[in-house]
Structure 1
Amino acid sequence: MNETQGYAVFFFPQALEALGEAIRPYLLEGPAGPHVLCKEIDTGGAFTEMTLEGRNADGREMTLELMVPGNMLRMIVSAHGEGSFGFGPRVARAVAKPAGASVPAPAEPVPAQPPAPQTPAPVIATDAKPE
């Protein structure tokens, strides 16, 4: 089972603009955009608290708590596994076909037509009396 490695926190563009240079040292760039990678996160109050682990200028390990208003967050993604975190395009897998099998041409879409109105069955009157 994969253990949680942390969380990727994505901000609204307006939030990044408002936070300006103060948030830049904590941002990582990725295919899905800039995000903060944190070890723990607490979304229980008006401010979202993120715990980041890193090294200071002397190379010593340190823990940092970053708190931002919760309404600045666009999305939080839990990062699992041993590999690096990131996004990539999803590619549809090709279905294996036997050798020599021909691929049918794509069918043209058929416009949807409403069903034809149904006429009620005619009622046949008879002079016969039920017995």
Structure 2
Amino acid sequence: MNGNTGYAVFFFPQALEALGEAIKPYLTSQPDGPHIFCKEIDTGGAFTEMTLVGKNAEGHEVQVELMVPGSMIRMIVSAQNESLFGFGPRATAPGQAAGT
């Protein structure tokens, strides 16, 4: 997808319970529900592979590969910007009527 900056990966509640404490450091808790925001994703196998980007204790960027069984994933959403991700109303451009 052009302009894509990543993916929001949502899990089934039972999956989050089964993964327990191990998944919690990777979850982003937002009003849309807990999810993992990842840079890249590969769904071509029994495991879904996610590439996450973060910072280590020294502030350097690090990449982490996280793999979970594909059956644990409820939904994957392509996102333009993590901070603007969500399902709420969008602002319209000046001079443009809402809904047009």
Give the whole-Å Cα distance in 2 for the aligned partners of 1:82 and 1:21.
Answer: 23
Structural mapping, 1:26-37, within 5 Å: 26-37=26-37
Percent of aligned positions that are identical:
74
Give the root-mean-square deviation of aligned CA atoms. 2.1
Give the whole-Å Cα distance in 1 for the aligned partners of 2:64 and 2:33.
Answer: 22
Structure 1 residue 78 corresponds to structure 2 residue 78: yes
Give the whole-Å Cα distance in 1 for the aligned partners of 2:31 and 2:82.
Answer: 19
Q: What is the TM-score of this pair, normalised by structure 2?
A: 0.82
Structure 1 residue 58 corresponds to structure 2 residue 62: no
Per the TM alignment, residue 83 of structure 1 is displaced from its structure 2 partner at its CA by 5.6
| 1:18–1:82 CA distance, 2 compared to 1 (3 A) | closer
Q: Which residue of 1 aligns with 2:47?
A: 47
Is the partner of 1:87 in helix, strand or coil? Answer: coil
Per the TM alignment, residue 89 of structure 1 is displaced from its structure 2 partner at its CA by 5.9
For each residue in 1:24-45, what CA deviation from the matched residue of structure 2 results, as whole angstroms up to 9, or x when unmatched? 0010011221000000000000
Per the TM alignment, residue 12 of structure 1 is displaced from its structure 2 partner at its CA by 0.1
For each residue in 1:44-92, what CA deviation from the matched residue of structure 2 results, as whole angstroms up to 9, or x when unmatched? 00000000001011111100000000000000000025862223268xx
Q: Which amino acid aligns with 2:7?
A: Y
Unaligned runs of 5+ in 2: 91-96
Give the structure, 1 or 2, with the largest relative contact order (CA under 8 Å, sep 6 or more).
2
Q: What is the TM-score of this pair, normalised by structure 1?
A: 0.63
Q: Which amino acid aligns with 1:39?
A: K
Is the partner of 1:4 in helix, strand or coil? Answer: coil
Structural mapping, 1:101-120, within 5 Å: none
The alignment of Structure 1 onto Structure 2 pairs a total of residues equal to 91
Work out which of the two has the higher radius of gyration on C-alpha atoms and give 1 or 2: 1
Unaligned runs of 5+ in 1: 95-131
Hey, which bits of structure 1, 4+ residues long, moved more than 4 A?
none
